[in-house]
Amino acid sequence: MNTKQPILVTGSNRSGSTWVGKVIATNRNVDTIIEPLNLNRIKRFKKFKINNWYLKVDSKVDIAIKKEATLLFSYYLKTSIKNLVATPFQQYEGHNLLTSFKKRFRRVTKPVKLIKDPTSLFCIPWLVKEFNVSPIILIRHPAAYVLSIKEKNWWFDFDNFLEQPNFFQGNLAGLKKEVEDFKREEATKSIIENAALFWKICYAQVLVYQKIHPNWYYITHEEISLDPINNFKKIFEHLNLNFTEKVKSYINESTQSRDDSKHCRNAKENSEKWTHLLSDDEKQIIYNITNTVSNKFYDKFV
For residue 12, the one-letter residue type is S
Give the domain 7-78+111-294 fold: Rossmann fold (3.40.50)
Which of 96-105, 241-250, 264-273 reaches the highest mean pLDDT? 241-250
d(CA 100, CA 105): 8
Residue 90, pLDDT > 90, answer no
Residues 257-272 have a mean pLDDT of 62
SS3 assignment, position 155:
coil
Band the pLDDT of 259: cuts 50, 70, 90: low
pTM: predicted TM-score of the whole model, two decimal places: 0.91
Confidence of residue 101 (pLDDT cuts 50, 70, 90): confident
Please list the alpha-helical segments (H only) found in 39-164. 39-45, 63-77, 81-86, 97-109, 124-131, 142-152, 159-162
Rounded distance between C-alpha atoms, residue 152 and residue 81, angstroms? 41
Arithmetic mean of pLDDT, 18-42: 95
> Once rounded to an integer, what is the mean pLDDT over residues 273-288?
95
Q: Where are the domains positioned within the chain?
A: 7-78+111-294
